[in-house]
Amino acid sequence: MIRFFFFLLLSSCLTISAQSRFEGTVTFSITKGKEVMTRTVWVKNDSIRVEEFIGNNQKNKSIYLIDGKSKVGFILSPERKLYMKTVPFQTTEDIEVSDAMVLEKDSLFGYEVERWQLSAVDQKRTINFAFSPNDFFFYRDLLIALPDRSFLERLFLQLPLAENVLPLLAEYTDINDQRIYQMKVVKIDNSIPNAKLFRIPKGFSQF
């Protein structure tokens, strides 16, 4: 079980701002070994669009449309003009962590962040997060609707603060301090996306 006092400390240290919910575009770079994936997320109200591709192969994208309110998601296949509904993810995993500590406060992309480090007991992993205490409500909704989640994404969903923060950096290393996985935000654009990005295109059929 993740320690109650860790949750209490983490939740109390991150103060959520009174600003409006985030709308715009966030681009992530996700590195696992030699593989680098780009994930771009568009957000407008409760609507979310996700596009992912590996390397420079933008022709072979994974595309998801997500309704953050209902937690319903759709996978689009532009080549076949098909879409498939996804089932919301409910985590039953309990990743035990300990030794949580605040390393420092910092600023990334104009947002105040707190850098945290903790240990995953059973997996012998050291985890680093840079949390932004702003109204990024979309991120948890995104993870719940995605068909696949990394170890760090599953861990993030266990945290009480997952409701409204965004990790601008998340990574973990092994017992030899070798980085296994890193997810980092590389761009934030506050321009409001076009509403048509969040609609299933005409002519698509359900799979």
Q: List the chain pLDDT tens, one digit each, 207 residues.
A: 444 334 444 544 554 444 578 999 999 999 998 899 999 999 999 999 999 999 988 778 999 999 988 888 999 999 899 999 987 766 556 777 776 677 788 888 888 888 888 887 777 788 899 988 767 889 988 888 888 888 888 888 887 777 788 999 999 988 888 899 999 999 999 999 999 999 999 999 998
Q: How many CB atoms lie within 10 A of CB 118?
A: 21
Q: Let me know: does 95 contact 120? Beta carbons within 8 Å.
A: yes
Separation CA 7–CA 22 (nearest Å): 24
Q: Report the predicted TM-score, pTM, of the whole model to 2 decimal places.
A: 0.85
Separation CA 6–CA 100 (nearest Å): 7
| 92 Cβ contact list (under 8 Å, min separation 6) | none
Q: Let me know: does 110 contact 168? Beta carbons within 8 Å.
A: no
Q: Which residue, among 193, 159, 181, has the nearest Cα to 46 in the 3D structure? A: 193
